[in-house]
Chains A and B, each alone.
Chain A
Amino acid sequence: MPDKGELGSLERRLLDEFQHGFPLVERPFEKLAEAIGTSESEVIDTLADLVARGYVSRVGAVPASCPAGTSVLAALAVSQDRLEAVAMQVNGFDEVDHNHEREHTYNLWFVVTAPESSRADAVIDAIERITGLEALRLPLERAYRIDPGSRSWI
């Protein structure tokens, strides 16, 4: 049995196959088995194990619903010495989530979610006032794939 954090080659092939789309046929696990050269029961057992170990959050097509309301991805360009303080200021808003650092001029990224876009804009306006920084505002236009685990798009 592979260690936690290590995947065998069958498991890797199964996970890769999995992402292409879950087959819409009567025996989908048999179809996956054919694609990777193993048996239906091996696929079912391996998937059960991958689910138990947390590698797979759910089997089959995944709901595409984004958070209710409007989601705006926003970013700030913050000097390193201010980064932690600004991050805490951004955290002061309930509408903010997924606040994290990335390596780029725009180095603080977060998502603002509100029932209406006017509220999301107002939150970002307030963040700009408080921090003295101009935010990059990137409203979600279309999600092709979101995180099936957290139903998040960022």
Chain B
Amino acid sequence: MDLSSVEEALVEELRDGLPLTPRPYRDIGMRTGLSESAVMAGIARFIERGIMMRGGGVVHRPELGFQANAMVVWDVDDGMIDRIGEWLGEQPGITLSYRCPRREARWPYNLFCMIHGRDRAAVRDRIQELRRTGSLEGVPYSVLFGTRGLYRGAGRRRSLPPGAVR
């Protein structure tokens, strides 16, 4: 990440997100000595350069009612994968979207996404909806539901027995 000191100050100021005020970019600007439009232009540049992502931070956790999650993997034409990957990443209910290499016979998928939902039926419905709205009906895919077996979770170094509720 190659940022000027002004850009670094802006990233630091944005660390906890925007203030919930009517003109949040102006308020951020006042803390960093930047104009409102300079703050917006700075964020637009960060997004363009891949340092920040467009979508806001929505959380999907089991205790919030999202009991089911599925990793959905797709075999997308290489010429279209970036566009589809970005599109999937902006869809409600999708928390992750990323690209990995195929491993041919063993694993022919190159696009991965994570979908959360109230239950498995909701997740399945959502997948079919995404296939329709994203024109993905011709794309091979596979759905891998998560079970409760979490052995080492995000940020936790303690292992849990299978079946333990997070």
Binds B, one of A22-30, A116-124, A125-133: A22-30
Q: Which residues of A contact B151 (CB under 8 A)?
A: 87-88, 90-91, 99-101, 108, 110
Question: Are B58 and A64 in touch, CB under 8 angstroms?
Answer: no
Q: Which residues of A contact B152 (CB under 8 A)?
A: 91, 96-100, 110
- B38: CB under 8 A from chain A? no
Q: In the bound complex, what is the Cα–Cα distance between A47 and B24 (angstroms)?
A: 13
Question: Are B56 and A19 in touch, CB under 8 angstroms?
Answer: yes
Q: In the bound complex, what is the Cα–Cα distance between A26 and B46 (angstroms)?
A: 18
Partner of B162, one of A15, A83, A149, A152: A83
Query: Contact string, B133-152, partner A, CB cutoff 8 A, digits 1/0?
Result: 00000000010111101111
Question: Are A144 and B98 in touch, CB under 8 angstroms?
Answer: yes
Given contacts A20-B90, A57-B59, A91-B151, contact A64 B51 (CB under 8 A): yes
Q: In the bound complex, what is the Cα–Cα distance between A143 and B57 (angstroms)?
A: 16
Distance in Å from the Cβ of A58 to the closest Cβ of chain B? 3
- A35: CB under 8 A from chain B? no
How many chain-B residues does the 8 Å CB contact rule pick out? 72
- A141: CB under 8 A from chain B? yes
Task: Determine the interface band of chain A, counting residues with CB < 8 A from chain B.
Answer: 35 or more
Given contacts A60-B17, A63-B11, A103-B147, contact A145 B46 (CB under 8 A): no
Question: Are B59 and A144 in touch, CB under 8 angstroms?
Answer: no
Question: Are A100 and B100 in touch, CB under 8 angstroms?
Answer: no
Question: Are B149 and A26 in touch, CB under 8 angstroms?
Answer: no
- A6: CB under 8 A from chain B? yes
- A42: CB under 8 A from chain B? no
Q: Which residues of A contact B14 (CB under 8 A)?
A: 60-61, 63
Q: In the bound complex, what is the Cα–Cα distance between A122 and B121 (angstroms)?
A: 40
| Chain B 105-131 residues near chain A, CB threshold 8 A | 106-107, 112, 114
Interface, chain A (partner B; CB < 8 A): 4-7, 15-16, 18-22, 24-30, 40, 44, 47-48, 51, 53-65, 73, 83-84, 87-88, 90-91, 96-104, 106, 108-110, 136-150, 152-154
15 more CB-based (< 8 A) A-B contacts, given A101-B149, A108-B151? A4-B63, A26-B36, A54-B64, A59-B57, A60-B17, A61-B46, A62-B55, A97-B154, A99-B159, A100-B152, A110-B152, A136-B103, A138-B112, A144-B86, A144-B99
Instruction: Write 29 A-B pairs (CB below 8 A) sorted by A numbering.
Output: A5-B64, A5-B65, A18-B55, A18-B58, A19-B92, A25-B40, A26-B36, A28-B25, A48-B20, A55-B59, A55-B64, A58-B16, A58-B57, A61-B56, A63-B14, A64-B51, A64-B52, A65-B51, A84-B162, A87-B149, A87-B151, A91-B152, A100-B153, A101-B149, A102-B144, A141-B98, A147-B154, A148-B58, A153-B98
